Structure 1
Amino acid sequence: MDKRFLLVFSLFCCIDAVTPLKCITCHLHLKLDRCRRGYGVCLAHKSESCMLLKIYKDYTLQLSYMVCQRFCRNLIFTFSNRTYTHYCCKADYCNKE
């Protein structure tokens, strides 16, 4: 009986370990509007996480971009009067705006 329990338990652990991370995709989300291009779900690979990029101009959100991203890292930088904010996370649908 104990061997069966351990076998079933280990199978559930393996199933949980191989369940891919699910991220929202949207290649063009304008201000407070809905997704205009590329809406869906991507399954992240081993070295990927969910990423949300927000682009601001004068502290006003201009557009967002959501995907599965390899080697993602949280980052904020300003270029050409725009602020780019990268947010990376590792939970299902965590990059939802």
Structure 2
Amino acid sequence: MKLKRFEEKMFSGSFLKRVLPAELADTVECRMCHIQFPGEKCSRGRGICRADKNEACAVGKIHRKNGHLWSHWLTFMGCQKNCAEVEKIKWSTYMVAFRCCRSFNLCNENLTNRG
């Protein structure tokens, strides 16, 4: 049940409601990486994807609880349909943050240092 609520928030499309229609006309290239651990290079799924007018470049960060502290555990990047920005969504022992952009090619590379 918690995973379903997380997916509904994450993929609700709220990002698209804040973007002007003219900005959605063209495609944008996004950095893609399925698995990247902190301080390391992309270990799986490295490449570039092309986000169409219904998609955005995205970065997801997963933090894992270690005692009483949250530590950054994993980052993933790519193209996401109906991308929605979320922050501090709890999922079991994990905390998820999700960022979206369409402003220029490979814009999601700049999002990896946020959150």
Matches within 5 A, 1:41-60: 41-58=48-65, 59-60=70-71
Aligned equivalent of 1:80: 92
What is the alpha-carbon distance in structure 2 between the residues aligned to residue 19 and residue 70 of structure 1? 14
Matches within 5 A, 1:1-97: 19-58=26-65, 59-76=70-87, 77-91=89-103, 92-96=105-109, 97=112
What is the alpha-carbon distance in structure 2 between the residues aligned to residue 28 and residue 89 of structure 1? 19
What is the alpha-carbon distance in structure 2 between the residues aligned to residue 34 and residue 28 of structure 1? 9
Uncovered stretches (5+) of structure 2, i.e. residues with no partner: 1-23
Q: Normalised by the size of structure 1, how large is the TM-score?
A: 0.76
Q: Normalised by the size of structure 2, how large is the TM-score?
A: 0.65
Over aligned residues, Cα RMSD in angstroms?
Answer: 1.5
Uncovered stretches (5+) of structure 1, i.e. residues with no partner: 1-16
Matched residues, percent identical?
A: 30
What is the alpha-carbon distance in structure 2 between the residues aligned to residue 41 and residue 19 of structure 1? 16
Structure with larger Rg:
1
What is the alpha-carbon distance in structure 2 between the residues aligned to residue 19 and residue 73 of structure 1? 19
Q: Does the 8 Å contact 2:63/2:95 carry over to 1?
A: yes
What is the alpha-carbon distance in structure 2 between the residues aligned to residue 83 and residue 40 of structure 1? 26
What is the alpha-carbon distance in structure 2 between the residues aligned to residue 46 and residue 19 of structure 1? 6
